[in-house]
Amino acid sequence: MLAGRVENADGTTTLWRPVGPEELRLVEAADWRRWPARLADQPIFYPVLNEEYATQIAREWNVPASGVGHVTRFRVETAFARRYVSRRAGGGTVLELWIPAEDVDALNERLVGVIEVIGTYTG
């Protein structure tokens, strides 16, 4: 395991991503199998490395911004995830994986299974 990552015995790495309603609609429209392309002002796609941090972001950022925040969980091939460095965005377990926007299509090709909603929070 590298820098707080959840690497599974089946060759996948589990990641979490807090999302608002707009991004969740795009994921649903892609049958829960793809992340949408980043917007021009979003140079980085950053899933996080643990559920607790994803929940914190959903509650503290997504809920105030849009009234609802969701926590998603997905798996990606570990060999792909290891291409990217874990970044500490704060103390303790506040860890993110920074994937350049131009690599989101490659990430989508290496998703294993579907993107799941594991938590929903409202104001």
Quote the pTM value.
Answer: 0.93
Q: How many domains are there within the chain? A: 1
- Residue 24's domain comprises 6-122
Provide the token pair at 92: 């303790």
Assigned domain for 35 exists:
yes
Quote the pLDDT of residue 85. 86
Could you tell me where the beta strands, DSSP code E, fall in 44-110?
A: 44-45, 68-77, 86-88, 95-97, 99-100
Q: Is residue 1 part of a domain?
A: no
pLDDT per position as a tens digit, 59-75: 999 999 999 999 999 99
Q: Specify if 105 maps to a domain.
A: yes
Give whole-number Cα distances, 80 to 1, 36, 90, 114, in Å: 14, 18, 24, 17
Counting residues of the chain whose pLDDT is more than 70, the rounded percentage is 94
What pLDDT is recorded for position 91? 65
Q: What is the CATH number of the domain that holds 30?
A: 3.20.170
In whole angstroms, give the CA distance from residue 2 to residue 32.
Answer: 27
